[in-house]
Amino acid sequence: MEEKKKLQKQDERVVEIELERLRGFVNHPFKVQADSQMIELQESIKKYGILNPLIVRPRQDGTYEIISGHRRKFAAEKIGYRKVPVIIRVLKDDEAVVSMVDSNLQREMISPSEKAFAYKMKYEAIKRKAGRRKCGQVDHNLGKKSIELIGEECGDSPKQVQRYIKITELIPEMLEKVDDGSMGFTPAVQLSFLKKKEQKEMLDAMEFAQCTPSLSQALRIKKMSEDGNLTVRDMEDILSEIKQKEIDRVVFKTEQLHRFFPVSYTAEQMRREILEMLKLNMNKYWDE
């Protein structure tokens, strides 16, 4: 307790702490992966060091919980660092959640599931803080719902925040399809209303049909579930309708095409370039 009081009185300053004394945030919703971006971060740290200190808070056992900097810690470990620069902040649990979410949402690449669980954690933390507000305490956001506050701070509409939170009710295998782009976000929101057993059956139906539902199809499936008469056969029949419509289509995922085009190209720019190249090469490969 004395150490915490001292920290509260001190101005924030950068100190170095051993990596083994750092602990990940409990239920941290953001993935730390050894991908190409991590390799870039490691190279950057090798050249310039850790430019932005990690944000941590003290724990009772003498270790520190990371609020911001899980990727920097991972990269530092991989290249042999023993200590990293940190800023120590004394934060209550819900304050720590909000700070952790806000700092990580600044990242460029965030998957839908990461954003979803982050929004959910922040929403629950804000609600708990509001419930504990002392009598007479002034709230400058009085009258605003927690969802509205998150939307304002994170750049999404309240409805969109609600949709993100809703998809946390999807089974992990469904969420993976949203993250990898094989299933649309909006249809996924509708499927999150299904019971867990129905979601598993729906997943099997999608694997069998090798396709995912459109929004209109997902709405039909949701309605049948609400009415209590959704069967596996219904799911397969609905998905087979989609499959039939897609028989004459040729589809490329954006990530499949990006290696042939500049990173800045949009899907529409790539489409136009492909059509132009086909026109230019038509005489070479096909008879007119």
My answer on whether 58 and 87 are in the same domain is yes
**Distances, alpha carbon 60 to alpha carbons 1, 53, 73, 222, in Å:** 9, 22, 21, 47
Q: What is the pLDDT of residues 147-199, one digit of tens each?
A: 999 999 999 999 999 999 999 999 999 999 999 999 999 999 999 999 999 99
Q: What is the CA radius of gyration of the chain?
A: 24
As a whole number, mean pLDDT of residues 75-103 equals 96
In a domain, 145, yes or no: no
Give the tens place of pLDDT for each residue, 193-238: 999 999 999 999 999 989 999 999 999 999 999 999 999 999 999 9
140 domain residue, yes or no: no
Is pLDDT at 284 greater than 60 in this prediction? Answer: no
For the chain, how many residues are written? 288
What DSSP character marks residue 35?
S
Q: What six digits make up the tokens of 252?
A: 């490329």
Q: Same domain, yes or no, for 271 and 225? A: no
Residue 53 lies in a domain: yes
In terms of domains, do 27 and 77 share one?
yes
Q: Which residues contact 129 (CB under 8 A, 6 or more apart)?
A: 94, 95
The count of domains in the chain is 3
Statement to judge: residues 6 and 61 lie in one domain: yes
* Same domain flag for 197 and 233: yes
pLDDT of residue 135: 43
Query: What are 23's strand-pairing partners?
Result: 65
User: Residues 6 or more apart from 39 whose CB is under 8 A from it?
Assistant: none
33 domain-assigned? yes
**Looking at residue 132, what is its pLDDT?**
55
Q: CATH number for the domain including 16?
A: 3.90.1530.10
Domain assignment present for residue 110? The answer is no
Q: Which of 91, 124, 139 is the last residue of a domain?
A: 91
Whole-number pLDDT of residue 285 = 52
- pLDDT digit string (tens) for 244-283? 555 556 677 777 777 787 777 777 778 778 877 777 766 5
Task: Give the up-direction half-sphere exposure of residue 281: CA atoms within 13 A in the CB hemisphere.
Answer: 7
Q: Tell me whether residue 54 is in a domain.
A: yes
Structure tokens at 81: 């660092």
- Same structural domain, 274 and 200: no
Domain limit, last residue, from 45, 76, 91: 91
Same domain, 223 and 265: no
Chain centroid to CA 57: 24
Domain match, 239 and 276 both = no
Q: Is residue 125 part of a domain?
A: no
Q: Are residues 76 and 2 in the same domain?
A: yes
Half-sphere exposure of 61 (CA within 13 A, CB side): 7
Question: Which structural domain range is residue 195 located in?
Answer: 184-246
Same domain, 1 and 55: yes
Distance, CA of 56 to chain centre: 22
What is the DSSP-derived secondary structure letter of residue 67? E
